[in-house]
Structure 1
Amino acid sequence: MANGLRIIVWPDHDIPNVVMYNFVRAGGRNEYPGITGLSHFFEHMMFNGTTSRKPGEFDRAMEAVGGANNAYTTNDLTVYQGWFPRSALKTILELEADRLQNLAIDPDVVERERGVVYSERRLRVDNDNWGRLYEQVRATAFVAHPYQFPVIGWPSDIESWTQQDLESYFKTYYAPNNSTMVFSGAVSPEEIFLLAEQYFAPIPRQLPPPPVRTIEPEQAGERRLVIEKEAQTPLLHLAFHAGRAADPETQQMQLLLNILTDGNSSRLHRLLVEEEQIALSVAGVQIQGFDPGLVYIYLTLPPGADIDAVEARVLEELRRVAVEGVTRAELGKARNIVLADFWREIATINGKASALGDFDVFTGSYENLFSLPEDVKAITSQQIQAVAAKVFQQNNMTVGVLRSPTHTPGAGK
């Protein structure tokens, strides 16, 4: 659109419903000390009234026409989701345009939501062993890049955001030229574009947000941290610097993580949980975004576990992949799982909207979504071995441990 808003439409007339996703390029990476957590805070504020609607009216109006909504915030984005019948299309677009153009940042509502966010932080981080360790590992793994900041914000920042902080952040990051909207379902591109001109064209373009220029320097040696806190089961987290969402190596690593940690037949589960019984669970995730992220492997250990010994076994298996690679059967299975998940996702209008938006925002074009099956089929065992050798190096690793102050290896056996 002329104001910079990008709109993508994927028609699917199997059912008379529509999904709308609004990808706002505002996340933890756009924050700095003093305003950490603002992106997540606006995820709350966007449901708390405009100059013409009181708090709660957005949800009531949407539900009255059969719709539902949600939202989430990451280090890179804040994403707003709406699900509704086709008959409610005009109502939903009018509601969305109203909050984008006329959001009320009322001081009383701000203080109330500030308390809600702080309570959420206590629940998910301060009083949650996994969340507390994860936050500290990220803050240790990144020393320069804003990926070090927790999406929910540091406590002192949550307490001290100012009205000026809020108004400036909203004006900069909730501009149409900083958003991508995706529609999927019982609609046509022509009618969506026509309605968008009516409802979204009046929203003025703003100056582009300041770019994130900081590049995380190469890690020069392994980093470690230990949190001592009452815990029946110790936690062991290992984080390795890896690529961006748009990098070819990221899809290769995704297949490797599937082989290593996805399901009961994965390498690390069979070895550590079933055969040697030195872990209760093991999982892995690739944290990918606009900038280079992390490969994150996390384990829950039994009481009294020898944490150092478990870490050594994990690293031994990661080195094995880097030296020996993976088998043809393992690669075939991982491909099958990734492709089955892909086709299952885009079989629904919600999956279509989510996938289109992710690929458009992170790779530069939604068309890259449609090459994913062939890209996955083309990945070789040699590429997987190479990415393992590159990423799984000890000088590229941050290790986090959460254990009880009275933890004694072997005491629980």
Structure 2
Amino acid sequence: MKRKLEGWVVLLILILSFSTAFSFDFSKVENQVKEYQLDNGLKIIVMPRHDAPVASFITMVNVGACDDPKGQAGIAHLFEHMAFKGTKTIGTTDYGKEKKWLDEEDRIYGQIRQEKARLDLADTARLTLLNNELQKVMDSAGQYVKVNEFGQIIEREGGVGLNAGTGYDNTTYYINYPANRAELWMAMESERFIDPVLRELYKEKQVIAEERRMSRESSPMGKLQDELLASAYTAHPYHRSLIGPMSDIQNFNRPDAIAFFKKYYVPKNMVVAIVGDVDPEQMYILAKKYFGRIPAAPKPEPPMTIEAPQTAERRVTVRDKAQPIYFCTFHIPDGRSADMPALEALSDYLGQGRTSLLNKSLVKEKKIAVRAMAFAGFPGNKYPTLFGIMAIPSKDHTNEENEAEVAKLVEKVKTDLISAEDMEKIKARAKATLINGLSSNQGLAMILAYYETVLGDWHRPFHELDRVDALTPDDIKRVANEYLVWDHRTTGLLESETD
């Protein structure tokens, strides 16, 4: 009885998903979106929604960890932190006096960097003296800092969820605001990207170093991810750690961060997306007034390195006092590829949700894993990327057992056609996921900004369902055979360290 009931529940969910998909008018929503481009090259994408007097504001910059200069891995992430430190008028009690101490910080740090560059010949006593001197100067600069004033102003005026994130492909700044505070947001957001003051930079480097220790050096999964990417990519910058190695974090200085900002935070490399209770034409007028002040500059060139085809399996093993993890990846094309909808459908069928092949076989039936999943688009989508499969072995079971079963299931999707029923379920889930993402102001703003910045066209999500609807079981079988090739695989194993 319970099994029959579960079947009816699944069927009901699918019916509701289809019903929602058909009732959601994608072309109508797309036609309501307005796109503008300022004289300096910055794009503004606005979607009015008058359901409530609020709006979501996204600033997305076409720069991420892939763009970190050599020897400065992690600087994109550092600048994201710095963007909240304020300007010459926000975050300080007296910028003129503060500036003298900031310059002195840079002078002393330059000496520290020169001494460290001597490697084994570095004078440790002098380094200690210089670091003590730097701390005193930082304390002197700190007396003029109004900590988190930028965020406090936002929150005082009703802003909610002020935050940012750095990925391999892009950096995103976001906030939800009362719609009648749109001009305040425009003024403050543009100001921090016109002439930011990178105050407390050397202090923030210590925060990021600790973040690195927590998310990578003290995180078995973080270490496994870094090792796997470094093996899967031998040339392309996707091989880098998102936060950067400790040596780079400790080495770059404020002039490095300013140079990075001036190169990448230019109008032609930025997109602003606004969704909510706003008038598009008014947003354009305000954008010209505030974001139009940002000087025009050439759009920076993307990384030109092309990863050579992988011709043999690569394997890495990380040992730690942690639960084992099996993780393998295969090379696939970038997110703009015509094959990506089929690859995403394949990942759904293989390893997303309780009814997926991996979950049914590894978790439910054989009970050799507590969790199993598959995904497409790791670690990014702007460049040729990876299809990933992961399994966490259950107690008294091993990575080897899970690897063997994963291999069987991969071969199964290469030889067996997906049933028509399973194909319809995959399409229903894809539709429901897309509609869910478009239903909230912030979700839609994020999608518009992401598709324009990373994938080159904000119109794409409104036509995703056409591509999903066109998929056939043969498409899934074809991409499985074309991309899930064992010689193109990189396998990462997290093994429990024995005492």
TM tier, smaller: over 0.9
**Structure 2 counterpart of 1:320, which letter?**
K
TM-score for the superposition, normalised by structure 1: 0.95
Separation (CA, whole Å) in 2 of partners of 1:79 and 1:129: 27
Q: SS state of the match for residue 197, structure 2? A: coil
Deviations 1:188-225 (A, max 9, x none): 21001100111011110123213311111100100001
Q: Does 1:294 align with 2:331?
A: no
- Specify which of 308, 311, 316 is matched with residue 217 of structure 1: 308
> What is the alpha-carbon distance in structure 2 between the residues aligned to residue 222 and residue 195 of structure 1?
54
Q: After superposition, give the CA deviation of every residue in 1:75-126 in whole Å (9 maximum; x if it has no partner).
A: 00001111100121111111101100121023xx111110111111111111
Cα shift at 1:227: 1.1
Contact 2:413 2:477 in 1 (8 A): yes
User: How many Å apart are 1:325 and its aligned residue?
Assistant: 2.9
Q: Which residue of 2 aligns with 1:410?
A: none
Where do residues 14-413 of structure 1 align in structure 2 (5 Å cutoff)?
14-54=51-91, 55-68=147-160, 69-106=162-199, 109-231=200-322, 233-286=323-376, 287=378, 288-406=380-498
Structure-2 residue corresponding to 1:411 = none
Q: Give SS of 1:35's match.
A: coil
Q: How many residues align?
A: 404
Alpha-carbon distance in 2 for matches of 1:379, 1:76: 27
Structure 1 CA distance, aligned partners of 2:383 and 2:156? 41
> Match for 2:207: what amino acid?
V
Q: Which digits, 9 at most, give the CA deviation of each residue in 1:331-368, with x for residues without a partner?
A: 11111011011112211111111111122223322112
Stretches of structure 2 that go unaligned for 5 or more consecutive residues are 1-37, 92-146
TM-score (norm 2): 0.79
Distance, in Å, in 2 between the alignment partners of 1:116 and 1:229 is 25
Distance (Å, rounded) in 2 between the aligned partners of 1:63 and 1:49: 15
Residues 190 and 290 in structure 2, CA contact (< 8 A), matched pair in contact too:
yes
Q: Could you give the per-residue CA deviations for residues 246-298 of structure 1, whole angstroms, max 9, x where no partner exists?
A: 11211111111111111111110010011001111112222242111111111
Distance 1:330 1:362 in 2: 31
CA distance in structure 1 between the partners assigned to 2:253 and 2:260 by the alignment = 11
Q: In 1, Cα distance between the equivalents of 2:202 and 2:341?
A: 42
In structure 1, the gaps of 5 or more residues are 408-413
Residues 246 and 362 in structure 1, CA contact (< 8 A), matched pair in contact too: no
Native 8 Å contact 2:169 2:454 kept in 1: no
CA distance in 2: counterparts of 1:146 and 1:363, whole angstroms:
18
Judged with a 3 Å threshold, the aligned counterparts in structure 2 of structure 1 residues 373 and 296 are, in CA distance, closer, same or farther, namely same
What are the Cα deviations for residues 153-189 of structure 1, in whole angstroms up to 9, with x where unaligned?
Answer: 1111111012221111011111111101111101121
Q: CA deviation at 1:307?
A: 2.0
Letter in 1 for 2:55: V
User: Residue 152 of structure 2: SS of its match in structure 1?
Assistant: helix
Determine the C-alpha separation between the residues in 2 that align with 1:112 and 1:261.
42
Contact 2:84/2:148 (8 A) holds in 1: yes
Partners of 1:67 and 1:216 lie apart in 2 by 43
SS at 1:332 equivalent = helix
More moved, 372-381 vs 280-289: 280-289
The Cα shift of 1:19 comes to 0.7
> Are the counterparts in 1 of residues 234 and 307 from structure 2 also a CA contact under 8 Å?
yes
SS at match of 1:50: coil
> 2 CA distance for matches of 1:87 and 1:307?
55
Q: Which runs of 4+ in 1 moved over 4 A?
A: none
**Secondary structure in structure 2 of the residue aligned to 1:91:** helix
| SS of 1:247 mapped into structure 2 | coil
RMSD between aligned alpha carbons?
1.3
2:62/2:454 contact within 8 Å kept: no
How far does residue 57 in structure 1 lie from its aligned partner after superposition? 1.1
Structure 1 residue 319: deviation in Å?
A: 1.3
**Separation in 2, partners of 1:85, 1:28:** 32
* C-alpha distance in 1 between matches for 2:170 and 2:333: 17
Task: Map Cα deviations across residues 126-152 of structure 1 (whole Å, 9 max, x no partner).
Answer: 111111111110111000100101111
Q: 8 Å contact 2:270–2:453 — kept in the other structure? A: no
Structure 2 contact 348–375 (Cα < 8 Å) conserved: no
| C-alpha contact 1:97 1:200 (8 A) present in aligned 2 | yes
CA distance in 1, matches of 2:248, 2:239: 15
Cα deviation, residue 392, structure 1: 0.9
**Contact between 2:202 and 2:253, CA under 8 Å: does it hold in 1?**
no
Question: What percentage of aligned pairs have identical amino acids?
Answer: 29
Alignment equivalent of 1:5, drawn from 42, 45, 54? 42
Post-superposition shift, 1:33? Answer: 3.2
Instruction: Say which one has the larger Rg.
Output: 2
Contact 2:451 2:457 in 1 (8 A): yes
d(CA) in 1 for partners of 2:76 and 2:411?
Answer: 38
